[in-house]
Amino acid sequence: MFSLNVAGGEAGVDTIDLETAAMHHVMEIGLANTIKHKTELPCGAVATRGAVMIGKGVPTDFRLMQDPLHAEFNAGASARLDPTYRPVNVYDSEGKVVAGPPDTFRVGFEPCDNCQDWLATQPGIKRVAFILSRVDLANKGLVKPHPETIFERVERLGFPYTVEQLQDEELRGIGLSILDHVQRNPKTEVVTIKADPLKAILSNLRRKPVSTVLLPARRFA
């Protein structure tokens, strides 16, 4: 298990710190993956249970030629390898959760339909949060626009989690600036990047106190 030790230890982490730190980490691992492999869009995901991150992932579908391997899916797979993963919560004698599934997935981009469906099958899931919408990505020519947003679709299908697009202008600005240096061929889905400006954004992200405290590299990221 790795903790989000942002403000003096796990016990001192409040919800805002966790959200910001986790989302910085989401952006950092997604961008690092794109710079390293040059094949996937710069999307990361983390899976948390309370204030503890138990999984994280980046997309590997293109380089592994395996379709469902988006960041969300790999974060969920990573969580299952965590020693405290259980399909249902386990409590100690004081009622504190000591093991269980992730309750929250945080993702850089609005999850696609496949990932929305897959997330709905995950035990314990209560909330999905993201930074950039599908419209943001479509405006940059990176994905096809959909007629229905995740909010409408999740409500229509009665999925068991709430969805939130974080209103964090700084993170949103960083996300949009990353997309300025990424292109994807709409027919072949081949990604091309401008590495130098992306490396500069990554080193800026890593300079932020909230992202430097986070976790060692780990499976799928």
The 25-64 site mask, x for binding Zn ion (CB under 5 A), equals ----------------------------------------
Least distance in angstroms from the C-beta of 207 to Zn ion: 29
Least distance in angstroms from the C-beta of 153 to Zn ion: 13
115 lies in the site for Zn ion, by CB under 5 A: yes
134 lies in the site for Zn ion, by CB under 5 A: no
Least distance in angstroms from the C-beta of 114 to Zn ion: 5
Q: Of 24, 25, 56, 70, which lies in the binding site for Zn ion, with binding defined by CB under 5 A?
A: 70
Task: Please report, as residue ranges, which positions from 176 to 215 form the binding site for Zn ion (by CB under 5 A).
Answer: none
Give Cα separations from 155 to 51, 94, 113 (angstroms).
27, 36, 13
Q: Which residue lies nearer to Zn ion by CB, 17 or 40?
A: 40
Least distance in angstroms from the C-beta of 203 to Zn ion: 28
112 lies in the site for Zn ion, by CB under 5 A: yes
Q: Which window, 46-54, 112-120, 123-131, 157-165, contacts Zn ion (CB under 5 A)?
A: 112-120
In the chain, the N- to C-terminal Cα span, in Å, equals 15
Q: Which window, 13-21, 65-73, 119-127, 141-149, contacts Zn ion (CB under 5 A)?
A: 65-73
Where on the chain is the footprint of Zn ion (CB under 5 A)? 70, 112, 115
